[in-house]
Every structure is written in C-alpha cells, then in structure tokens.
Amino acid sequence: MSRRPLGLPRISLIALAASAGVCGPAMAGGFFVQEQSVRGAGRAFSGEAADRGLASLWWNPAAIARSGRELHLGLHLRSFDTSQFDEASTITRPIAPGGLTLPVGGDPTAENTTPDHVIPNLGVSLPVGERFALGLSATRAFYLENEFGGNSWARYDTIRNHIHIDDYQLTGAFRATSWLDLGVGISAQYTDAGLDSASPNLDPRQPDAIARLQAGDDWSYGFSLGAQAEWERFSFGASYRSAHDRDLEGSLSLTGLQGPLAGANFAAPAVTNFGTPWIAVVAGRYRATPELTLNAQLQRFGWSEYDVITIEFAGMSSTIPQDFEDVTTAAVGADYAVSEALTLRAGASYDPTPSPDTLRENGVADSDRWLYGAGASVRLRPGVTLDGALSYSRFEGSRIIEDALFYGGSGADTGVRIRGRFEGDAASASLALRVVF
C-alpha cells in the first residue's frame, strides 16, 4: 500500500503521521495499555467488567456501587524482548538514467527498542448515602516509546518517538435494585507525543536529513457507561467507553537537506488530529464452588477510529491512511480462595492486532499475541489486601511493509520500500495495595 506523494514542503508528513499515534512493539492490540489493575493482570483480564471494587473501575464504572470507602494503588513493571529484522528494504533515488536503487543500509536488526517502564493505577471510591458512590481514578491508557537510532534500517519511518496518554476519570455509581448496579464516568485524557525520523538526501553519500515533530500536548474528553447484575452464583457486567478525538498543537521542522533540496528545510507550527478507539466489554463470573470462581470476558476495540491522520502545517492540510481495524479480544480465567486470607488466580487471553497486513510500519510493529497471567491476593489485615501478578505475552510475529514516496511530483521523487519482520515477547510484574477504610 503506497501513501500519497509528498511535495517538497510536505516531505515530513510520513514522519508526522507516525508520531501522531503509532504503536510500538509489545503493546496490547494497537498501543492500548491492558494493565489497568493488578488483580486483573493475574487472571489475564478475564471477568473484570463483572467484578466489584475499585480494581475493576476501568472496565466498568458500576463496579464501585457497593465497594464502600476504598483506596487502590497499583504499579506494573513492563519489560520487552523484541526484534525487527530488515528483509531487503531499498531506496530508489532519481539518478539518471533509470534511477539508482540501493539497500537502505544501516543496522539490519533493531532489538528492544522500547525501554522497560512502569504503568501506575491510582483510585479512590467513596459512598454517598446508602445507594450512591463516587470514584476518582488516574491511569495510563495508551503508551508508546521507541528508540531505533539514526543508523537503523527503520530510520525512514522512526528514529525515536513517544506517545503517552493519561486518563483521569470521575465516576458516579448507583445501586438501582438489590441485584443491579449502574455507573457513569467522565474522563479527561492528556496526550503528549513526539517523533524524529530521517529524510533521504539525493546524493547517497550525504547523511540523511532529520524531520522532528514536537507534537505538543492536548486534552480530550469522553465518557463511560456500565451495568452489573448478580444472581446467586452468577454475575454479569457490560460497559462502553467512548472514543477520543485528539488535536495536538506543536511544531515540525526539517533540517539537513542539501543540494537541490536545501530550500525545503523549514520549521513551522503543526496540528495533528487522530482518534483513539471506543471499547465495549461484556464479562461474566460463575462461582462453581465456594472456593472456585470462573471468569470470562470479551472486549471489542473500535480501532477503525484510527483510520486516518490529519496534518496541518505551513498553510497546508493532508490526510494519511492508517486503516486500523476493529478487533475483539477474548479472555478466560479463575480465582481460587485457598483461605479467607489468600486467593490464587490465573488466566489466558488472545489479543489480535488491529494493524492491517498491507501497511505495518516499523513504529507499528504489532502482532497477534497470547497473554498468560498468574497472581495472588493476600489479606494483610482486615481491610488491607496486597495483590501481586506476573504475566507473559508471546507474539506470533508479523511482516513489516511500507512504501513511502519522498518529494513526489517535484522531479526529485525518492522511493523507500521497507520490508521486514517483527517477533518477540514481553513480561510484566505487578503489585497493588487495596485498602478499605
């Protein structure tokens, strides 16, 4: 799949598109962060929308209707072991008589481009009267950070980039009946993003130019709705979290073009618009015995919201296709109460990638994955519980494919044909403290 040609003043649109919201390796489907509670990580995020308490608030705002005064503090350390391999990527420059095609060169392997990092979960819930509850939570909802380096074969897509999206939510929940709870949340999300990428000079002996996007930051707003029902041994939950539309105001610059392209070096304000997905969840929990509870959950991600990126800079506007697809994740798991003070849990989930096989960039080196989790909860004293979890993700691998045209229609048309392979795995270690006060 080829992107639209870029005129001289637009040589950095490819870089700008990547910075607006690409996902790095070892993410959940797309660049969404699944690690929204330690209890959930221990059972591979199965049954969360049907479970009660502050630890399930991300998946269902109705979860706090009966939780009382509760405080939740969680941390997830995420570690990655991923690789991207060049498979005969080329660059074609307009050198007479018929163009000169050479390998892109650079280091043919990019390993562990995403650093280890910590994802926090914070929240508090308070009852209001006998039937209402209010909650306030903060978490990282989407995350990307990559460092390929200027000598990587991936440099024409990404040298380095980041996108951090933090979610702050105010929640209200209501005990509608003895068996039904309802909830609504209003969320504010803060986005910060940036990207450096390379642009080729016409003379292969000259170093690459550098396109630098400082995308700035942006606040966006959305909502969530949820319901939970419980009958004897069975509980059911369903929720919907709205999409977010983002407009990042920042700057874009291009430096280092030489020879006939030198006049295209520039710096200008830039505005990047893109959307992140809505999320619909259904979940169930079944108490098979007094000790054993079985969990299942389906999540539908509306990644088609991330279909194009709109860029405005230097008085121009353009759209760049991303063509992400809606996907459904499935998870199953179990909790086993060994005693009143100790609960063990485990689970597995399947998480398909929303990135299309016809356009998968180095910065979007995602793939279908299996996630396995195990964890435990220990009651330290009445009202104080420590949660711990370990999880492992195995990526099935994917192809990297991108056709980019620089300086199209200017007579300096330079084509980059990127072909490669992504593989790897990831692990997380998580701890949380839950306090009922």
pLDDT single digits (tens) 118-129: 999 999 999 999
Q: What is the 3-state secondary structure (H, E, C) of 18-51?
A: HHHHCCCCCCCCCCECCCCCHHHHHCCCCCHHHC
Q: What's the domain range around 295?
A: 8-436
Output the pLDDT for position 22: 34
Please indicate, yes or no, if residue 305 is contained in any of the structural domains. yes
pLDDT band at residue 30, thresholds of 50, 70 and 90?
Answer: low
CB 6 within 8 A of CB 17: no
Q: Which two tokens stand for residue 58?
A: 């991300």
pLDDT band at residue 8, thresholds of 50, 70 and 90?
Answer: very low
CB 89 within 8 A of CB 416: yes
- Judged on CB neighbours under 10 Å (0-12, 13-18, 19+), 95 is middle
pLDDT in tens, 357-369: 888 888 877 899 9
Is residue 388's pLDDT more than 80? yes
Please indicate, yes or no, if residue 55 is contained in any of the structural domains. yes
CB 56 within 8 A of CB 38: no
Per-residue pLDDT averaged across 226-246, rounded?
Answer: 96
pLDDT in tens, 177-199: 999 999 999 999 999 988 899 99
pLDDT band at residue 33, thresholds of 50, 70 and 90?
Answer: very high
Output the pLDDT for position 3: 38
Residues 6+ away with beta carbon under 8 Å from 220: 188, 189, 191, 244, 245, 246
Output the pLDDT for position 264: 87
Closest CA to 333 of 394, 283, 387: 283
**CB neighbours of residue 371 within 10 Å:** 22
User: Residue 270 is which amino acid?
Assistant: A
Is residue 10's pLDDT more than 70? no
Q: How many domains does the chain have?
A: 1
What value does the mean pLDDT of the chain take? 90
Please indicate, yes or no, if residue 2 is contained in any of the structural domains. no
pTM: 0.90
Convert 125-150 to b/e letters by CB count within 10 Å (16 or more is b).
bbbeeeeebebebebbbbbbebbbee
Output the pLDDT for position 6: 39
Question: How far is Cα 305 from Cα 324, in angstroms, rounded to an integer?
Answer: 8
CATH number at residue 313: 2.40.160.60
Question: How far is Cα 337 from Cα 383, in angstroms, rounded to an integer?
Answer: 17
Element (H, E) at 15: helix 13-21
Output the pLDDT for position 29: 59
Please indicate, yes or no, if residue 379 is contained in any of the structural domains. yes
- Judged on CB neighbours under 10 Å (0-12, 13-18, 19+), 369 is buried
Q: What are the start-end ranges of the E strands in 99-208?
A: 100-103, 109-111, 117-128, 132-147, 160-175, 180-199
pLDDT in tens, 144-166: 899 999 999 999 999 998 889 99
Per-residue pLDDT averaged across 9-13, rounded?
Answer: 43
Question: How far is Cα 377 from Cα 387, in angstroms, rounded to an integer?
Answer: 4
Q: Which two tokens stand for residue 226?
A: 């949820």
Question: How far is Cα 144 from Cα 164, in angstroms, rounded to an integer?
Answer: 6
pLDDT in tens, 135-145: 999 999 999 89
Residue bearing the bigger pLDDT, 91 or 16 = 91
pLDDT band at residue 375, thresholds of 50, 70 and 90?
Answer: very high
Please indicate, yes or no, if residue 48 is contained in any of the structural domains. yes
Please indicate, yes or no, if residue 3 is contained in any of the structural domains. no
